Amino acid sequence: MEGYEYQKRQVALDKNREFRIGEGKISGYASIFLGALSLLAVLAYLFPSHLTTTELRQVYDAGSLQKILKYGMYFSLFFGALTFYLRKYRRMGLAGIVLTATAFLLGGYTVPVDPVEAKRLSLGVDWLILAFLGSVIVFVSLEKLFPKYENQVILRKEWGLDLFYFCFNHLAISAILIYANYHVTHFDWAVSAEVQALIGSVPIALQLVVVILCADFVLYWEHRIFHETQYLWPVHAVHHSVQNMDWLAGSRSHFIQTFSERAMVMVPLYLLGVGETVLNLYVAFAALQAVLIHCNVGLPFGPLKYIFVTPQFHHWHHSSEKPAIDTNYSAHTILFDWLFNTMHFPREHWPAKYGTTGKFPQSYLGQTLYPITALLKKL
Ligand SMILES: [Zn+2]
Ligand SMILES: [Zn+2]
């Protein structure tokens, strides 16, 4: 935007939240997280029809995952003992050991894996564990190797709140899928056998491109409507209330938004009628990109940034600076923002400020009720 003075974002190092090697804080958190995940995993092995996801079970082998669980449990104990030895964060070490000991008492990594009776509605504990481990390994590593803001700590302000959103979004996966599958039945009238046959006749790579573009078109408009409709904005504002961008920030989303987004994106997938391979490729691409674009990652991405939505592009969407308000709605490619003239992408600059322009509640309940409280204030 001409005449706008871009500023550099300043991030001060928060010494109280920083991880320093040798203090015991890193091993303490590692022990607690591995202990909690192990306990959840053992519970999922004990009650698979209630705590695992039917669609996801077809993709992984529960037997081999027990080997990973075994390592997770022993590493939790090891980190717990190390934390004890380093003294300062003993309570965290103890908590990690207690969690893992409970997992051992419940059967540990030796719970027999039997055929599972599929339930329509279940909690996606397996999805939560796999996504959490995968995200930490891939995205936290990327953030440490190529940080945009080196001073930004992993346990930044409000990380606990966003972890809560992360857990909710993953645990609710089967409810979301049930809703999305019900929602698409309203579009039965638009199904065309000719279109589906045509899509099925082209190479997989081209099918994937078509799926990405169609999904992007729907997500662009869904997103834009949430921004530009007075009564819907408070729902979406929850996603915009994060003030520090990282791998966890994108999880913050009002549940109405989460359900709406997944249900809407299901429509083009359903109408195109693509096969399982393309569908799985798209879901993996979309899930990884959704996390990546929120990451504290300063990678330049070269010519890819002129095609795909990258962290810099989506960080501008989260900026509270005037020229960036209500811009960059796209989820996958930058095409529709360019086409519909809603793009704000100064190549040399990154935002100086993130978040909403006004004050925003900082608790889960406050944010969930925000659409109602914002409405009441207007009356
Ligand atoms: Zn938005
Ligand atoms: Zn976002």
Q: Which pLDDT value is given to residue 262? A: 95
Is residue 166 within 8 A of residue 130, CB to CB? The reply is no
Is residue 109 within 8 A of residue 69, CB to CB? The reply is yes
Tokens linked to 45: 């092995």
Give CA–CA dist 132/44, Å, rounded: 15
Q: Which pLDDT value is given to residue 55? A: 86
* Alpha carbon separation from 223 to 60, 143, 216, 334 (Å, rounded): 32, 26, 10, 14
Q: Is the pLDDT of residue 4 over 90?
A: no
User: What's 56's DSSP letter?
Assistant: H
Give CA–CA dist 237/256, Å, rounded: 12
Give CA–CA dist 350/149, Å, rounded: 11
**Alpha helices, DSSP H only, in the chain?**
25-46, 48-51, 54-57, 62-86, 90-105, 125-135, 141-145, 159-171, 173-184, 193-201, 204-228, 233-240, 255-272, 276-292, 311-317, 335-339, 364-368, 370-378
Q: Which pLDDT value is given to residue 58? A: 86
Percent pLDDT > 90 in the chain is 81
Q: Which pLDDT value is given to residue 217? A: 98
Compute, in angstroms, the gap from residue 307 CA to the centroid of ligand 1: 19
**What is the tens place of the pLDDT at every residue in 76-133?**
999 999 999 998 889 999 999 999 999 999 999 999 998 888 888 999 999 999 999 9
Query: Band of the pLDDT at 20, cuts 50, 70, 90?
Result: confident
User: What's 140's DSSP letter?
Assistant: I
Task: Catalogue the long-range contacts made by 253-258 (C-beta closer than 8 Å, 24 or more residues apart).
Answer: 253/165, 253/169, 254/367, 254/368, 254/370, 254/371, 255/168, 255/172, 255/368, 256/371, 257/226, 258/169, 258/172, 258/176
Residues 33, 36, 42, 45, CA torsion sign: negative
Q: Which pLDDT value is given to residue 2? A: 62
For the whole prediction, is pTM greater than 0.85?
A: yes
Compute, in angstroms, the gap from residue 134 CA to the centroid of ligand 2: 20
Give CA–CA dist 16/284, Å, rounded: 36
Compute, in angstroms, the gap from residue 148 CA to the centroid of ligand 1: 21
Q: Is the pLDDT of residue 19 over 90?
A: no
pLDDT, greater one: 314 or 23 = 314
**What is the tens place of the pLDDT at every residue in 280-306?**
999 999 999 999 999 999 998 999 999
Compute, in angstroms, the gap from residue 237 CA to the centroid of ligand 2: 10
Compute, in angstroms, the gap from residue 132 CA to the centroid of ligand 2: 18
Give strand pairing partners of 297: 147
* Alpha carbon separation from 41 to 100, 106, 175 (Å, rounded): 11, 11, 20
Q: Which pLDDT value is given to residue 1? A: 58
pLDDT, greater one: 2 or 323 = 323
Is residue 199 within 8 A of residue 210, CB to CB? The reply is yes
Ligand approaching nearest to the C-alpha of 225: 1
Compute, in angstroms, the gap from residue 240 CA to the centroid of ligand 1: 6
Compute, in angstroms, the gap from residue 114 CA to the centroid of ligand 2: 40
pLDDT, greater one: 42 or 378 = 42
Give CA–CA dist 185/182, Å, rounded: 6
Is residue 367 within 8 A of residue 341, CB to CB? The reply is no
Q: Which pLDDT value is given to residue 377? A: 87
Is residue 60 within 8 A of residue 95, CB to CB? The reply is no
**What is the tens place of the pLDDT at every residue in 121-180?**
999 999 999 999 999 999 999 999 999 999 999 999 999 999 999 999 999 999 999 999
Buried b vs exposed e over 207-226: b needs ≥16 C-beta within 10 Å?
bbebbbebbbbbbbebbbeb
Compute, in angstroms, the gap from residue 139 CA to the centroid of ligand 1: 22
**What mean pLDDT do residues 18-28 have?**
87
Compute, in angstroms, the gap from residue 361 CA to the centroid of ligand 2: 18
Token pair 């810099």: residue: 312
Report CA dihedral (73, 74, 79, 82) to the nearest 10 degrees: 150
Q: Which pLDDT value is given to residue 129? A: 95
Angle, CA 124 vertex, CA 123 and CA 129 arms, to 5°:
135
Ligand approaching nearest to the C-alpha of 257: 1
The residues, any chain, with a CB within 8 Å of residue 261's CB and separated by 6 or more, are 219, 222, 253
Compute, in angstroms, the gap from residue 336 CA to the centroid of ligand 1: 15
Compute, in angstroms, the gap from residue 239 CA to the centroid of ligand 1: 7
Buried b vs exposed e over 243-256: b needs ≥16 C-beta within 10 Å?
bbbbbbbbbbbbbe
The residues, any chain, with a CB within 8 Å of residue 163's CB and separated by 6 or more, are 248, 251
Q: Which pLDDT value is given to residue 378? A: 81
Q: Which pLDDT value is given to residue 308? A: 97
**What is the tens place of the pLDDT at every residue in 222-263?**
999 999 998 999 999 999 999 999 999 999 999 999 999 999
**What mean pLDDT do residues 354-376 have?**
92
What's the mean pLDDT when you consider all of the chain? 93
